[in-house]
Structure 1
Amino acid sequence: MNHTSTDRALRLGTRASRLARGQSQQVADLLCELTGRAVELVDIATKGDATTAPLHTLGGQGVFTSALREALLDGQIDFAVHSLKDLPTAPADGLTLAAIPERVDPRDALVARDGLTLAELPTGSRVGTGSLRRSAQIRALGLGVELVGMRGNVDTRLSKVTSGELDAVVLACAGLHRIGRSDAITEALDPIAILPAPGQGALAIEARSDDPATLDLLKPLDHHYSRISVTAERALLATLEAGCSSPVGALAEVVEAENGLEISLRGSVTAIDGSDSVRLSATGPLTDAVGVGERLARILLDDGAAELMGSSR
């Protein structure tokens, strides 16, 4: 590598939202601390940012990531930071998932008026979310709340509770932590009731496969157990996907077992109207994250998940 290229600031591609820039700046700061390389943020406009239409109507995965990937392949940026749950499960030609930093709280968060929890919300309360998965799982609890579709940045969503337009909104704990708004959370939702999205709480750092110098710089950011966990979750999601959008929840953890550490993976598929769901778990060795995810997906399909996914078309 020539002298100039090692001296210049690395260009980090990010969505322009407060949350995206906040989490990208955290990655930039950490990379600078670990390697001494300066990093500059480059805002990239994505399809998902340019519309307020419900996400499930925008043609599936990639609405927040395609433009970043194109900028990366075009050489406009050196690496990109994504929310991992937005990243399509299929690998992209020419790109490598260079690092998955240590995951933060993967749970969903309730932000409700008067400090209420989900169970304390009165019947008929208006609860905002743009997620089919969250809506379906909340309906399945039979609490009698009204689910209201919504899009917009975190501040916009929080303001709907403050203004009284909604009684509560459901967001990711991780996003609120990353913009310093943990104080707004009135309940971190137990995964036993509401299973998070595959990859929730984790970031994905992508770089070009033919750029070994950047890939080497990014390696120290990779967190081994976080990568194992999300690999299992994404393998489950990839195996379940059959050309349709479906409310899939998944959460893997590295846990103590009799013979040392193992992967513990929970997965769920819920009917859109909350009338039925399939929720199962599997375990396996840390060296077989993909196998654990694929196996649990097949068990879910055998137990009726395919029919529930059909109901979400």
Structure 2
Amino acid sequence: MSALRVGTRGSALALAQTTALAARFAGEVEIVEITTQGDVDRAPLAQIGGTGVFTSALREALLADEVDVIVHSMKDLPTAPHPGIVLAAVAKREDARDALCARDGLGFDDLPEGAKVGTGSPRRAAQLRRVRPDLDVVDIRGNVETRLARAQGPDADLDAVVLALAGLTRLGRTDAVTEVLSLGRFPTAPAQGALAVETRDGDAASIRAVAKADHAVTRACADAERLVLAGLEAGCSAPIAASAQVDDGMLFLTATVYALDGSKHLTASHAYTLDGQSGPELSEAAMDVAGRAVRELVDAGAMELDAA
């Protein structure tokens, strides 16, 4: 039997997380590196169109039978289904929180007035401006090490950068973290910290090979978060946060939409009581809480707010 060809971006983070996840797939695997638009275009995500810039090339390779499965950071995955492709597995989520990586070991509240903080995420930028309007938020791109060097390298030109804790953990770079940011002040992007595995629709062998990597609770929580994005007709780079969790027999979801300048935000929180944790019930719970959150946010003016 030939090895399962696993497609992934070629960044250090993508390779690290894909290699670790592929160890859970059945049989032998071969990692195949694929270059995406987001890897070569350094323009701001909002400018090049955040949706699909890290995933389209992977999906093209999958449909062309150049690989058997593809692995994404799930927060980069467009919410709309792609013809001929199915979501075969969602791996158990790492800590979804954001992390501050600052010079001189500074925490967020210790940053001086006017400090330069780098991020490539409109959601993080809006949150930073909301909590600390005095900060100079700088748009940055690049891999994890490039971003860290902007704040902690010998030629640093920023006071801090904000990155996903999950990525730093997978790269073994939690030493760079000077504060893990609380979900209360900095709720995270939909599906942040989760990995998604896609296969061709009908490819039973590949679907079976990755089945053990699927984590039902993570899938339901990520689905609920991403259904908020879909319901608000927003892309994966929109200034929207959504956090879901299953606890004490309930699925909880909190979603927040921000004005780009951080001046305003709207939040909705909902819960669904579970009888168990079967896949169908978790899926129903995800759709229910997301639907209610979207209706509340839309009624409150969210469709105008995220473009402010």
Structures share a fold, TM > 0.5?
A: yes
| Equivalent in the alignment of 2:91 | 101
What residue identity is the alignment partner of 2:21? Answer: V
Letter in 2 for 1:97: L
Q: Which of 43, 46, 50 is the aligned partner of 1:53?
A: 43
* In the alignment, structure 1 residue 299 sits paired with structure 2 residue 296: yes
Partner residue in 2 for 1:270 = 258
Does 1:151 find its partner at 2:141? Answer: yes
**1:30 deviation in Å?**
2.0
Quote the offset at 1:206 in angstroms.
Answer: 0.3
CA distance in structure 1 between the aligned counterparts of 2:194 and 2:296, rounded to whole angstroms: 25
**Counterpart-to-counterpart distance in 2, 1:109 and 1:189:** 6
User: How far, CA to CA, are the matches of 1:246 and 1:226 in structure 2?
Assistant: 22
Matched with 2:12 is 18
* Counterpart position of 2:2: 8
The answer to whether the 8 A contact 2:260-2:307 is kept is: no
State the shift of 1:250 in Å.
Answer: 0.5
Question: What code does the residue aligned with 1:255 have?
Answer: D
What is the 5 A alignment of 1:67-86? 67-86=57-76
Q: For 1:283 and 1:97, locate their aligned partners in 2 and report how far apart those are by CA, in whole Å.
A: 25
Using CA pairs under 8 Å that are at least 6 residues apart, name the structure with larger relative contact order, 1 or 2.
2
1:244 deviation in Å?
10
Q: State the one-letter code of the partner of 1:165.
A: D
TM-superposition CA deviations, 1:151-194 (whole Å, max 9, x none): 00000000111233110000000000010001111111111101
2:22 match? 28
Give ranges in structure 2 of 5+ residues lacking alignment.
Answer: 274-281
Q: In the TM superposition, what is the alpha-carbon distance from 1:117 to its structure 2 partner?
A: 1.2
| Native 8 Å contact 1:119 1:143 kept in 2 | no
Check the 8 A contact 1:266/1:279 in 2, yes or no.
yes
Deviation at residue 143 of structure 1 after TM alignment: 4.7
Once the two structures are TM-superposed, the CA of residue 142 in structure 1 deviates from its matched residue by 2.9
The one-letter amino acid paired with 1:297 is: V
Note the alpha carbon deviations across 1:91-133, whole angstroms, 9 max, x for none.
1111110000100010111001111111110101100000100
Superposed CA RMSD in Å reads: 1.3
Does structure 2 retain, via aligned residues, the 8 Å contact 1:244–1:309? no
Residues 1-313 of structure 1 aligned to structure 2 (within 5 Å): 7-31=1-25, 35=26, 37-162=27-152, 163-241=155-233, 246-256=238-248, 261-285=249-273, 286=282, 287-311=284-308
Aligned residue type for 1:282: H
Counterparts of 1:140 and 1:243, CA distance in 2: 21
Q: TM (normalized to structure 1)?
A: 0.92
Paired positions, count: 297
Identity of matched residues, %: 49
Q: Which runs of no fewer than 5 residues in structure 1 stay unpaired? A: 1-6
Contact 1:10 1:38 in 2 (8 A): yes
Aligned partner of residue 199 in structure 2, secondary structure: strand
TM-score using structure 2 length:
0.94
Q: Distance in 2 between matches of 1:237 and 1:223?
A: 21
